[in-house]
Amino acid sequence: MLLNTLLPNTLIVLLTVVGMELFAAFAHRYIMHGFGWGWHRSHHEPRQHWFELNDLYAVVFAAIAIVLIALGTAGAWPLQWVGAGMTAYGALYFIVHDGLVHKRWPFRYIPRRGYLNRLYTAHRIHHAIKGREHGLSFGFLYAPPVARLKSELRDHQASLREDAARDRHAAASGDDGENATPPPRR
């Protein structure tokens, strides 16, 4: 009997952790760097206090996990395991993102190679682009290859330099920009 419940429940937890990474990457790109930028902006600015407005996202997801666990233990079978998977993802996020990458607790290790270095470097590259647009690497537990991210960052920085040079040229020539060809959207 134990195997009949342990295996499916464990599978639900693991699939939920994977699903949360997919959802978190989507939410980070399209919500946090979209209409939810009001909360997330605090995460891209120098931290003034221990808490930042962006931490409200963690509170929202924790509340959802608590409700799922409560509903599941009240009889809606798989929901407690989905909530447990969300909680496991939240713990991993706290350890890797808040601890390893952002040093929000007294954990000062900087990985030099392997998976943790890839996560660390990818998230640092994410923060190298100021503002909410043109971001790179939105996942928290998965990161694209660092070489690809560095190449994309170089391309982005070159594009910014080209735009600035075009703006300086237009200002120097007295062109108000009405007759100028708009820069390509990136």
Residue 29's pLDDT band (cuts 50, 70, 90): very high
The pLDDT value given to residue 90? 97
Q: What is the pLDDT of residue 112?
A: 93
Taking phi first (over 0 means left), then psi (-120 to 50 degrees means alpha), and beta for anything else, what does residue 51 get? beta
pLDDT of residue 184: 62
User: Does 119 score more than 80 pLDDT?
Assistant: yes
**pLDDT tens digits along 144-184:** 999 999 999 999 888 888 888 988 888 888 766 555 555 56
Spatial separation of the C-alpha atoms in residues 44 and 97, rounded to whole Å: 13
Which tokens go with 121?
């470097």
How many other C-beta atoms can be found within 10 angstroms of the C-beta atom of residue 126?
Answer: 21
Calculate the average pLDDT of the chain: 91
In the block, residue with structure tokens 């391309």? 155
Cβ atoms < 10 Å from Cβ of 82: 22
Q: What is the pLDDT of residue 111?
A: 93
Residue range 86-109, pLDDT digits in tens: 999 999 999 999 999 998 888 788
pLDDT above 80: residue 185? no
Q: How much of the chain exceeds pLDDT 90, in percent?
A: 69
Residue 100 and residue 116 in contact, taking contact as beta carbons nearer than 8 Å: yes
pLDDT of residue 182: 59
d(CA 128, CA 46): 13
Question: Does the pLDDT of residue 123 top 70, yes or no?
Answer: yes
**What integer pLDDT is reported at residue 47 of this predicted model?**
86
Q: What is the pLDDT of residue 176?
A: 60
Instruction: Sketch the domain layout of the chain as residue ranges.
Output: 2-110
